[in-house]
Amino acid sequence: MTQKIDLIGKTKEPPKISQAEFESLIEKAVYAPLHFPKAVSLCFCRKCGSHGEITKEYVEDLKPLIKTELEINFNDAKELRMHYFVTNHCEICYREDIPLYVEIKKIDFNV
């Protein structure tokens, strides 16, 4: 069976970003309009800083992993847009030995 490493080789793990860089990244991205027509929110990786727009289907995949206690209607796209998701690692900096956890945060649009 062909493994991913056989096809693309070993890739270098991206560097970990600082808390200040992560907060700056979120501040710049969460207030920008979404571009992808099916996007309902944003997801950020706390480890490497990669981020992107996510669909309702992706949110459904994240729901069982959410560790944050927050009352939210996951069926309401407008309410989802008022929140963003944060993971402890992503597809880019993925490590099998670290379980994935997800937080959901409310965007303060009064800023």
d(CA 38, CA 46): 24
Residues in the chain: 111
Q: What is the H or E stretch that residue 51 is in?
A: strand 51-55
Of 61, 56, 64, nearest to 83 by C-alpha is: 56
Nearest to 51 by CA among 22, 78, 76: 22
| Cβ pair 87, 102 in contact under 8 A | yes
Between the CA of residue 3 and those of 12, 73, 92, what are the distances in Å?
17, 39, 17
Q: Could you report the per-residue pLDDT of 69-85, keeping only the tens digit for each?
A: 778 899 999 999 999 99
Token output for 80: 């989802």
d(CA 107, CA 47): 20
Q: Are 70 and 84 in contact (CB under 8 A)?
A: no
Domain ranges in the chain? 4-106
pTM of the model: 0.83
pLDDT tens digits for range 10-54: 666 677 888 999 999 999 999 999 999 999 999 999 999 999 999
